[in-house]
Amino acid sequence: MTNPLSIFDLDSNSSLAFATASALGAPLSAWEERQFEDGEHKARPLESVRGHHVVLLQSLYSDAAHSVNDRLVRELFFVAALKDAGATEVTVVAPYLAYARKDRRSKPRDPVTHRYVAQLFEAVGSDRLLTIDVHNLAAYQNAFRIPTEHLEAKSLFVDHFATLLEGNACILSPDVGGVKRAEALRRSLSRRLGRELNSAFMQKWRSRGELSGERLVGDVAGQEVVIIDDLIASGATLLRTIEAAERAGARRIHAAATHALWAGKSHALLDHPALTTLVVTDTLPLLQRANPVLQQRVELLSVAPLLAEAIGRIHRRESLTELWLDAET
């Protein structure tokens, strides 16, 4: 017999949380938050969670209302409040996990912030953490001492591009670090389409926030190109990759990323004449709140069914392995 399931959404009115809960056939649980004059806050569940398996769903990002650090602290405090209120188990679902890119020291005395975030979630009593397309899977799996689950949005991109690609096509990684991700998409799309797709990658170095490296390794001339990345932050990486593919003679250029933060040069990216389509998922709500031009130029795929299936399996103590196998097909 499983414990009752409660789902909380700390991003009030999040369409992703609502869609996920609806797919699970469960309502979102009520909670309240109070802000104090000195900038402090408190948040508490408005219904009993004693003996419940609680799912806390919130991506960690910055917007006009809260910084990423605000969201992180609010979530940590709420996990602790849930455990104090008698929750048997708390599963943190962070579709986009902040600080995951800072997973190693690149300079002397650099922080490894990804590991520190893991320690914070462990310290307040989190029982499990689930995320989607984390920046470095090995670092994620090794940073936490509590169970972690990892989902991939690859199957969504396979479904999307399988109906779009015509003739010779190539999957292009914008850097060496993303080659495995691009290769996984290439294999899955090749199987779906019944023909072998090509692969290529860009050289990239980043130091003090500046990008360098202009060489495209592989042949994209006359081909339909799909650039795949885990994250659009400033848009600079995708922009330079689009420009390199255009110079190399690509016939059509598509871009896809799981997480879209829309900062920095993202509008220059969207305005680039060589970009045919840009596809992202709804792990971050910023697209829904963005201007109409952004909404018209970007195709949005929902991860809600994937999250709902994973949460349901976790709650029923079932394996998530089949979700991985499905992603490989």
Same domain flag for 83 and 206:
no
Same domain flag for 70 and 191:
no
Position 296 scores a pLDDT of 73
Q: Are 311 and 20 in contact (CB under 8 A)?
A: yes
Strand (E) positions, the chain? Answer: 5-9, 31-35, 41-45, 53-57, 89-93, 128-132, 148-151, 169-173, 198-202, 205-207, 210-212, 216-217, 224-232, 252-260, 275-281, 298-301
Residue with structure tokens 């690149």?
A: 106
304: nearest Cα among 21, 11, 58, 13:
21
Position 288 scores a pLDDT of 55
Indicate the angle between helix axes 15-24 and 304-315, nearest 10 degrees: 50
Same domain flag for 226 and 236:
yes
What percentage of the chain has pLDDT greater than the value 90? Answer: 77
| Stretch (H or E) spanning 12 | none
Domain enclosing residue 88, as ranges: 5-152+305-328
Same domain flag for 129 and 92:
yes
Distance CA 256, CA 270 (A): 12
Distance CA 1, CA 207 (A): 53
Position 243 scores a pLDDT of 94
Same domain flag for 210 and 234:
yes
Position 2 scores a pLDDT of 81
Same domain flag for 91 and 147:
yes
Cα 250 to Cα 171, 220, 225: the distances in Å are 11, 5, 7
Count: domains in the chain: 2
Q: Where residue 107 sits, what CATH number does that domain have?
A: 3.40.50.2020
Same domain flag for 138 and 244:
no
Name the catalytic one among 102, 154, 204, 265: 204
Distance CA 227, CA 205 (A): 18
Distance CA 56, CA 82 (A): 10
Distance CA 323, CA 19 (A): 19
Distance CA 237, CA 219 (A): 19
- Give bridge partners of residue 34 from the DSSP assignment: 42
Same domain flag for 297 and 323:
no
Distance CA 157, CA 301 (A): 8
Same domain flag for 312 and 231:
no
pTM above 0.85, yes or no: yes
Q: Are 265 and 234 in contact (CB under 8 A)?
A: yes
Same domain flag for 103 and 202:
no
User: What stretches in the chain show pLDDT beneath 70?
Assistant: 1, 12-13, 204-213, 264-265, 286-295, 324-329
Same domain flag for 269 and 281:
yes
Same domain flag for 267 and 309:
no
- Residues 6 or more apart in contact with residue 138 via CB below 8 angstroms: none
Q: Are 255 and 274 in contact (CB under 8 A)?
A: no
**Is 204 a catalytic site residue?**
yes
pLDDT in tens, 281-291: 999 986 555 55
